[in-house]
Amino acid sequence: MKKEILETFIDRYYLKGLINKVKWKYSASEKLLYTRAAIDNRSFVVDVNMNEFTDFGADDLIICIGDTERVKAMLSPFGEDLDFLINKNGDKILGFTLSNADIECYCSAADPSAMDPVPKNLQDIPEYHVEVPLTEEFMEKFKCAHKALKDVDSFSVHMNKKGVFEIVIGYTTSNSNRIRITPTTNVTKNTIEKSILFPIKNIIEVISANESIPNGTLSITNSGIMQLYFKNDKFTFTSYQFCNAKQ
């Protein structure tokens, strides 16, 4: 197995430490490694699919990862290639061994009862009313705006006085520091009913982890759900951020 493949899968959900506990779900027949995780009282949900993946063997597996940070650290001594071996006691997965010619490490699995609950059904999300293409230009502007106002923990989306959709980072009072971004939007999905406030840290980390995948989209519902979606031949990433409050 190529270490880079597993590290990339991890980085897409780990988001620089935002998400640490997950279940890796492996389907041998579908050649799929998948995880869904939720934090902040399930107000932020992440799905990651890695396609055309067969390196976990011929049997379906569910591995409970209790400490992704430690797994990432234990991968670090390896070069490009490593072997993966699951460790079981009957049907119970105890952990897995990673090895190459001169290094071996054992990662213990977490008890399933220690895993945080995640939403099981995300099919009832209402129609999206705004869609923003996640171009390189927009993502760079958004990251730079956050860096300029790094003490700000939220951003708002609304229609400006000209009736154009706008993102505002830093709006708290009429005299506060702020940066306004007017992104390109889908011509048929470009209007939202009211101003909505979202936490910024999760969105920044999602963009940073997935910006190498072209043609992503950011979509928002009037009810206050923001979806970020990225897809290429290897990965499908979807996140759902529920709003802080309507303004």
99 & 14 share domain: yes
Task: Please give the structure tokens belonging to residue 129.
Answer: 């009313």
Task: Please give the structure tokens belonging to residue 73.
Answer: 């650290």
The three state secondary structure string of 110-145 is CCHHHCCCCCCCCCCCCCCCEEEEECHHHHHHHHHH
100 & 139 share domain: no
User: E strands along the chain, which residues?
Assistant: 22-27, 32-39, 44-51, 61-65, 83-89, 92-99, 104-108, 130-134, 154-159, 165-169, 179-181, 196-199, 216-220, 225-231, 235-242, 245-246
Burial (0-12, 13-18, 19+ Cβ within 10 Å), 114: exposed
160 & 221 share domain: yes
223 & 161 share domain: yes
Give the residue from 45, 79, 114 where a domain finishes.
114
Query: For position 51, what pLDDT does the model report?
Result: 97
Task: Please give the structure tokens belonging to residue 54.
Answer: 């067969």
pLDDT interval class at 180 (50, 70, 90): very high
- Position 15 in a domain: yes
How many of the other CB atoms lie within 10 Å of CB of 227?
Answer: 18
Task: Give the tens place of pLDDT for each residue, 195-228.
Answer: 999 999 999 999 999 999 999 999 999 999 999 9
**Structural contact between residues 209 and 239, judged by C-beta atoms closer than 8 angstroms:** no
- Position 119 in a domain: no
Residue 105 belongs to domain with CATH number = 3.10.150.10
Helix (H, G, I), strand (E, B) or coil at 73: helix
Q: Is the pLDDT of residue 120 over 60?
A: yes
Residue 37 pairs in a beta bridge with 46
Q: Calculate the CA 146 to chain-centre distance.
A: 18
Give the residue from 56, 79, 114 where a domain finishes.
114
Query: For position 10, what pLDDT does the model report?
Result: 98
188 & 103 share domain: no
pTM to 2 decimal places: 0.93
**Structural contact between residues 196 and 246, judged by C-beta atoms closer than 8 angstroms:** yes
- Position 122 in a domain: no
- Position 203 in a domain: yes
DSSP 109: P
- Position 96 in a domain: yes
Rounded Cα–Cα distance for residues 16 and 202 (Å)? 10
pLDDT interval class at 245 (50, 70, 90): low
Q: Which residues contact 180 (CB under 8 A, 6 or more apart)?
A: 160, 166, 167, 168
Task: Give the tens place of pLDDT for each residue, 27-46.
Answer: 999 999 999 999 999 999 99
Mean pLDDT over 97-103 rounds to: 95
Task: Give the tens place of pLDDT for each residue, 141-172.
Answer: 999 999 999 999 999 999 999 999 999 998 76
Q: What percent of the chain has pLDDT over 70?
A: 98
- Position 125 in a domain: no
85 & 175 share domain: no
Give the residue from 114, 138, 159 where a domain finishes.
114
Mean pLDDT over 77-101 rounds to: 95
- Give the CA diameter of the chain: 65
Rounded Cα–Cα distance for residues 76 and 53 (Å)? 21
Query: For position 116, what pLDDT does the model report?
Result: 87
Query: For position 247, what pLDDT does the model report?
Result: 47
Task: Give the tens place of pLDDT for each residue, 47-75.
Answer: 999 999 999 999 999 999 999 999 999 99
Q: What residue numbers bound the domain in which 67 lies?
A: 3-114
- Position 58 in a domain: yes
108 & 70 share domain: yes
134 & 234 share domain: yes
54 & 153 share domain: no
- Position 120 in a domain: no
Please tell me the total count of domains within the chain.
2
94 & 19 share domain: yes
Helices (H), the chain: 3-14, 68-75, 136-148, 201-210
33 & 83 share domain: yes
238 & 151 share domain: yes
pLDDT interval class at 173 (50, 70, 90): low
